[in-house]
Amino acid sequence: MSQSTRGLREKSTREKGFPVVRERGSGGGGRRSLPDGKRHRSRFAGTVLVLCAIVATAVATDYWANIGEIHRGVEVDGVSLGGKTPEEAREVLEERAAALGDLQVTAGSEEYAFGIEELGLDFDVAGAVDRAYNVGRQGGILERLGDRTKTTAGTVRVPLVVDQDRERLRDGLSGVFAALAVEPTEAGFEVDDDEVSVTESRIGQKADDERLLDDIEAGLAEGQREYEVSIVADEPRLTTEEAERMKPTELLGSYRTDYSVVPDDGMRVENLGISSGAVDGTLLAPGEVFSMNGKVAALDYNEAKVIVDGAETKADGGGLCQVTSTLYNAANFAGLDVIERTPHSAQLPYIRPGMDATVWWGGPGQEDDLDMKFRNTTDGYLLLREYVAEDGYVHAEIWGRPNGVEVEMSSEPTDMGESGSEWVTYQTVEKDGEVLFDGVLHEDSYEPLVDEQGKEIPPSDVPVAPVDP
């Protein structure tokens, strides 16, 4: 090759971006040399191939050397399983689980022992053996070598997992929780004439059951068998301080009805005393709903005069509607929210039409039950008082915290005839001088009253009680 031709070839090669390999010696017969970078890469690739071969050989050798056995350096719950087959390891762990014995719970000076099965606990021996055997056998080559390095240098600990049901564990320990529980004493109220005093509350105690369950669930897998249950205070829902702040101190609303206008042989008045006594002393928390049926249903009453579908008859519990109507009006004058009320079907002499309320209960689940309900819409407790006085009246009182509420009520007939009457009831509610409601509370229709002889008594012949007896 001429000098000029070789120069053109080198130039062409450089322009294309290829490295130039120069010939050494004469006649173009000398040895060619690689650039330094390519030579280093070639050496690195060779080294990697050698290492990979060594690693693969080590993994294969380790696999065949330990096939069918758990690697040395692996333990479960403090028991070394290295060199054992899975079957041998399972026997060892089952003996270990059986030898763990009772679970001990300490509460102060008291100690309690429970069998593992008694608490619904079951050790997952098979799962622990599988996890122990797979140490160094799962994952990629590097992960396996890493696990084997750990077992060679030290110990790999595999937990003995406990299968458990938290609610069954709670049930098993319920005897401990019950033995440690001291119920708190709620603050209460006592009434002496018009004076209301607070009875003192007391703090109770209970076991911190959630913390104990958490400790047991976490500790069983680590082999812990002794636990201490913490005792925490059980605060009463109504403390003395809260009761003092919320105790009823003022008469919010009252009403009375005349029971002497209804002929009676003494049985009806006795019923009035039974039902009003069931109401008397009732405490109503803020937001709580009072149910008349919830207080007076199914008590042991006498047979006395009642009104059923507008007709006079006798039945157990005669007089309950007068007690109900009296309390209904006290609740209205206290400015409370009456959420259920049903009028009678006929006018009655002891209560003004439009201001009456009746109750009736049948069997469980019957839809024709009638109730009178109202809600405590104040910020404090309400105290309900109801009693039969020798002055001929049933009295109802509702005591509470001062709330600045003033109520006026009245009812007037819009139609009065032989076959019936129509009445409209008005109410005005003011709070701190601001009118909250002023209008029609409800409208009611009444049929003629039928006496025990079947004779109709037109509404115009029934005495009308005053708004404020």
Q: What is the DSSP string of 62-131?
A: HHHHSTTSPPTTEEETTEE-TT--HHHHHHHHHHHHHHT-PEEEEETTEEEEE-TGGGT-EE-HHHHHHH
pLDDT given at position 25: 44
- Computed on alpha carbons and rounded to an integer, the radius of gyration of the chain in Å comes to 46
Residue 132 within any structural domain of the chain:
no
Task: Select the highest-mean-pLDDT range: 106-110, 129-133, 421-425.
Answer: 421-425
Mean pLDDT of the chain: 83
pLDDT given at position 175: 92
Q: How confident is the model at residue 57 (pLDDT cuts 50, 70, 90)?
A: low
Q: How confident is the model at residue 102 (pLDDT cuts 50, 70, 90)?
A: confident
Does 411 score more than 70 pLDDT? yes
pLDDT given at position 265: 78
What domain range is 310 assigned to? 248-461
pLDDT given at position 243: 92
412, containing H or E segment: strand 405-416
Residue 178 within any structural domain of the chain:
no
Does 219 score more than 70 pLDDT? yes
- Say which range, 52-61, 81-90, 131-140, has the weakest mean pLDDT: 52-61
Does 12 score more than 80 pLDDT? no
CA distance 131 to 160: 10
236 by Cβ neighbours in 10 Å (0-12 / 13-18 / 19+) ranks as middle
Q: How confident is the model at residue 41 (pLDDT cuts 50, 70, 90)?
A: low
Q: How confident is the model at residue 44 (pLDDT cuts 50, 70, 90)?
A: low
Does 440 score more than 90 pLDDT? yes
Q: Pick the residue with more confidence: 240 or 29?
A: 240
Count of domains for the chain: 1
Q: How confident is the model at residue 35 (pLDDT cuts 50, 70, 90)?
A: low
CB of 459 closer than 8 Å to CB of 448: yes
Residue 308 within any structural domain of the chain:
yes
CA distance 299 to 294: 11
- Helix, strand, coil share of the chain (percent; to 5): 30, 30, 40
pLDDT given at position 383: 92
Residue 340 within any structural domain of the chain:
yes
Sign of the torsion formed by the C-alpha atoms of 269, 270, 271 and 273:
positive
Q: Can you list the positions of beta strands (E) in 200-293?
A: 204-207, 226-228, 231-234, 250-258, 282-284, 289-291
Task: Select the highest-mean-pLDDT range: 4-8, 362-366, 410-414.
Answer: 410-414
Does 344 score more than 70 pLDDT? yes
pLDDT given at position 83: 86
pLDDT given at position 173: 93
Please indicate, yes or no, whether the overall pTM of this predicted structure exceeds 0.85: no
pLDDT in tens, 108-126: 888 999 887 788 777 788 8
Residue 449 within any structural domain of the chain:
yes
pLDDT given at position 170: 92
pLDDT in tens, 276-330: 999 998 989 999 999 999 999 889 888 776 666 655 666 666 789 999 999 999 9
375, containing H or E segment: strand 373-375
pLDDT given at position 152: 73
Mean pLDDT of 63-70: 70
Residue 252 within any structural domain of the chain:
yes
Residue 404 within any structural domain of the chain:
yes
Residue 420 within any structural domain of the chain:
yes
pLDDT given at position 313: 61
